[in-house]
Amino acid sequence: MAGSVEKEQQQNQVIGIIEEEKLQKQDIENNNNITRTQLESGEGEREMAPTPANSMHRSGSRPQLDVSKAEIQGNEEEKYPTILLPNQSDDLSHLALDIGGSLIKLVYFSRHEDQSVDDKRKRSVKERLGFSNGNRRSYPILGGRLHFVKFETRKINECLDFIHSKQLHCGGLEPRYSDGLTDQNGIIKATGGGAYKYADLFKERLGVSLDKEDEMDCLVAGANFLLKAIRHEAFTHMEGHKEFVQIEPNDLFPYLLVNIGSGVSMIKVDGDGKFERVSGTNVGGGTYWGLGRLLTKCKSFDELLELSQKGDNRSMDMLVGDIYGGLDYSKIGLSASTIASSFGKTISEKKELEEYRPEDISLSLLRMISYNIGQIAYLNALRFRLKRIFFGGFFIRGHAYTMDTISFAVHFWSNGEAQAMFLRHEGFLGALGAFMSYEKHGLDDLMVHQLVERFPMGAPYTGGKIHGPPLGDLNEKISWMEKFLRKGTEITAPVPMTPLAGTTGLGGFEVPLSKGSTLRSDASALNVGVLHLVPTLEVFPLLADPKLYEPNTIDLSDHSELEYWLTILSEHLSDLVDKAVASEGGTDDAKRRGDAFARAFSAHLARLMEEPSAYGKLGLANLLEMREECLREFQFVDAYRSIKQRENEASLAVLPDLLVELDSMDEESRLLTLIEGVLAANIFDWGSRACVDLYHKGTIIEIYRMSRNKMCRPWRVDDFDDFKERMLGARNKKNPRHKRALLFVDNSGADIVLGMLPLARELLRRGTEVVLVANSLPALNDVTAMELPDIIAEAAKHCDILRRAAEVGGLLVDAMINTSNSSKENSPSVPLMVVENGCGSPCIDLRQVSSELAAAAKDADLLILEGMGRALHTNLNARFKCDALKLAMVKNQRLAEKLVKGNIYDCICKYEPVS
Ligand SMILES: Nc1ncnc2c1ncn2[C@@H]1O[C@H](COP(=O)(O)OP(=O)(O)OP(=O)(O)O)[C@@H](O)[C@H]1O
Ligand SMILES: CC(C)(CO)[C@@H](O)C(=O)NCCC(=O)O
Ligand SMILES: [Mn+2]
């Protein structure tokens, strides 16, 4: 794709659907009044754009639209006139299809220019660290998003409409105006039988040709991609218990892939493109849905599945006990309750179909088919000595009972030798594989750490389906939220996670496990997010062992733990909404958005409470990030903006006094005071309920002083003496001073200004280069990389060391500072730099950090992680290749008890020298 970039950039790009209210003709004619507009792009995502002349620093990962010199094409009276954007650089999409006997699966990719601002901080970082991420052509893969959508094959017109409304068939370009490009882009990769059957229909309706890819090739390519590139794609499901498994890419083959679509294919996979279809069965998903429809009169697959959840198969199935007069047949290992013959009971009863409960029929049928597939899969695994069986296809539909039955069959027959595993993207294997068959998309090179899965927080999913019209408008999104809630409570309901009693241990499987009363919402629409491909993400190079690294400290698979944190977030919500609404001026519009945000986020929390792994493996870091993402989705760019500003100002005002105080001390007490200061200042955390209550009781400075006065050693975890020894004894050869320290900073205000900056200054004074690592996007009151240079410039007015270092680090190039003419020659000229961490969350997952942080880490020999999010919730147990100091105040009673057997406001100073 990279090769065609220039060509595409020369093409005028046309955007078909832009809301007319948003882009008024007049503005377009004046062509410079529009500061932003919205282009619908995928599930409820919004795209906005600065004009080049008046570019707003919307911090963010959101792509932006260049509407300069925009022109209406064609009839201006049209409701949705086509708008030509000559200066908009390429934003294309690719689509691939898997048209099966029952369902059509779509995978589409939307890509956009990396429009991250090249601010002075970034420029200086690039210069200092000698790396560049500005040139995206140096990356084999381009950033963008992979979306997953499905439709029923019998409703193929809905699918065609969807493709048309999103212009997916012409690479994001309107065919009418893209001339030559239509041909070039008028080919869609497609697999499944429908690629043949519906080729003419696609040509007729969309003017595109389907480029047919072999179905088995695609299934295998899709499965291999998912298993290698997506963390925790596979999971086991036994007796209601779901567990994610991480498969090592070099320990993946061989395996048996069982794709349960309408029919079932069993494929032995030995490598990329190396496979053989070893078996299949015509008793599959189509059988369940088809027979079930006839026997129960259900109108939809989900209705049928839902019925099964209230069923009792004993009224249909003939059990061993029915045959043996209530006895087990223990000699061959069969309990009385084992099913001897599915549906067998109905032969001895003189009942008509109508006299059986549809619920029982559905359950009996589901069990029969699942068990049968599990058994055939086992036999094939045995045939080829395969230990792992991955089950895909939409028959599974993330349904607990189906998975339990299959797992049971595999486990029972193989005596636990073979393992059944399921895939989160279950039904999308073929479509993904077809997508992969596009040449030069670069996806093969994609690595786990470059993929971020995001769940649209307020997206147009209703009843598990995604349909147009696109929600480009926040109003629509908000009113849709209300619909979602209504719909959500209808279809999203708890399924017990704990197994019900009833199995005999003798191979009996008479009472369904994890059956619940209502069906969980459609897995494929709600359980699979949008995959963001971010080529600039890297694994933090200083992790001692990335394979062993687990960012989260607390295990949320412990249900009480999950409940606790979900409750915390829930209780925090109204306060957060107040802040968010205030940050946007408290207007009516902001209030509506705040309300919708609160509802959307509560719905997600409620869903997670019922179904903790709804969005994949859940950790506290994800949960906290989800909140920030959700805020951003409702356009709250920086909810704590004014609080941060106020706290920065208040802290900067007392900084000079603090520096004087520090400078009057000897080295040893200064170091202690500095660490104390960091711990004390970490009390300013708007993410902590307890602290927020505290803030009502005093000014920032009062609280900071109070906090510092209460600092008495030993702290709960207190390795200060070791750290001090390393620092003060650093003059000998064996332990030279640190060359470069990375300081992962946390909050704005006192935390950064009175805590971390003075510590940075001390390191600089000792000749250690300092890199401040801060968030890329706002999260709570965390300081961002974009905000830091201004804070440093202010602080530098009072401090030569900071000023010189910031100058050397290129941070002060155009800042207006009053230089006081003091002794330059005394201060060593090591740089102070700022890099972004690549995150927009209070926590940090070091498996996915920005490339500039990765570059800065190369020469670092000291890490200081500060704050609850970065040093406690995540990374407390992380091991590094260099010295590491973890500093935080524990601002939560439960966490304090759990992690350090201590109390709220206890402090942690954990020093881990590299051995
Ligand atoms: N909403 C749904 N509508 C219809 N079937 C569904 C739905 N959700 C799950 N299913 C089940 O999934 C099956 C289809 O799975 P899948 O999409 O993997 O196969 P397919 O590609 O359509 O079939 P094949 O590969 O055999 O041509 C259906 O037969 C049915 O059992
Ligand atoms: C025909 C396909 C491959 C179409 O996806 C699938 O439905 C299937 O594998 N059916 C089972 C056919 C058999 O092997 O008995
Ligand atoms: Mn299929």
pLDDT at 741 over 50: yes
For ligand 2, what atom is nearest to the CA of residue 265? 9
Lay out the sheet containing 740-744: strands in order across. 717-718, 907-912, 883-889, 862-866, 740-744, 769-774, 832-836
Q: Inform me whether the pLDDT recorded for 634 exceeds 50.
A: yes
Residue written as tokens 């949008």? 530
CA-based max dimension of the chain:
104
Q: Closest ligand to 428 CA?
A: 1
The encoded tokens of residue 201 equal: 């229909």
Q: Of 456-465, 570-579, 780-789, 808-817, where does mean pLDDT reach its minimum? A: 456-465
How far, in Å, is the centroid of ligand 1 from the Cα of 102? 4
CA 240 to chain centre: 25
CA of 219 to the centre of ligand 2 (A): 12
Top pLDDT among 268 and 440 is at 268
Ligand 1 mean position, distance from CA 395 (Å): 6
Q: Judge whether residue 316 has pLDDT over 80.
A: yes
472: nearest Cα among 3, 19, 4: 19
Q: What pLDDT, in 10s, does the model give residues 577-618?
A: 999 999 999 999 899 888 888 887 887 888 888 888 888 889
pLDDT higher than threshold 60 for residue 28: no
Higher-scoring residue by pLDDT: 856, 466: 856
Tens-digit pLDDT profile for residues 803-815: 999 999 988 865 5
* Mean pLDDT in residue range 517-537: 66
Q: Please say if the pLDDT value at position 482 is more than 70.
A: no
Task: Compute the distance from residue 308 Cα to the ligand 2 centre, in Å.
Answer: 25
Does ligand 1 come within 6 angstroms of the Cβ of 428?
Answer: no
Distance 614 CA to ligand 1 centre (A): 21
**What confidence score (pLDDT) does residue 348 get?**
87
Cα–Cα distance between 672 and 625 in angstroms, integer? 33
Mean pLDDT value across residues 701-719: 87
Q: Cis ω on the peptide bond leading into residue 254 (within 30° of 0)?
A: yes
pLDDT band at 263 (very low <50, low <70, confident <90, very high): very high
| 730: confidence class by pLDDT, cuts 50, 70, 90 | low
Reduced to 3 states (helix: H, G, I; strand: E, B; else coil), residue 421 is strand
Pocket probe mutation, ligand 2, options 216, 260, 265, 275, max atoms within 8 Å of Cβ: 265
CB 753 within 8 A of CB 791: yes
Distance 212 CA to ligand 2 centre (A): 17
CA of 215 to the centre of ligand 1 (A): 15
Query: Does the C-beta of 192 come closer than 6 Å to ligand 1?
Result: yes
The answer to whether residues 206 and 156 touch, using CB atoms and an 8 Å cutoff, is: no
Any atom of ligand 2 within 6 Å of the Cβ of 193: yes
Choose which residue among 156, 262, 368 to substitute to test ligand 1 binding: the one with the highest number of ligand atoms within 8 A of its C-beta. Answer: 262
Note the pTM of the prediction, 2 decimals: 0.79
- Is the CB of residue 281 below 6 angstroms from any atom belonging to ligand 2? yes
Determine which helix (DSSP H) or strand (DSSP E) holds 242, and give its type and residue range: strand 241-245
Whether the CB of 262 sits within 6 Å of ligand 2: yes
285 CB less than 6 Å from ligand 2? no
pLDDT reading at 203 higher than 50: yes
Percent of the chain exceeding pLDDT 70 equals 74
**CA distances in angstroms from 843 to 120, 402, 624, 625, 871, listed in the order given:** 26, 36, 7, 8, 8
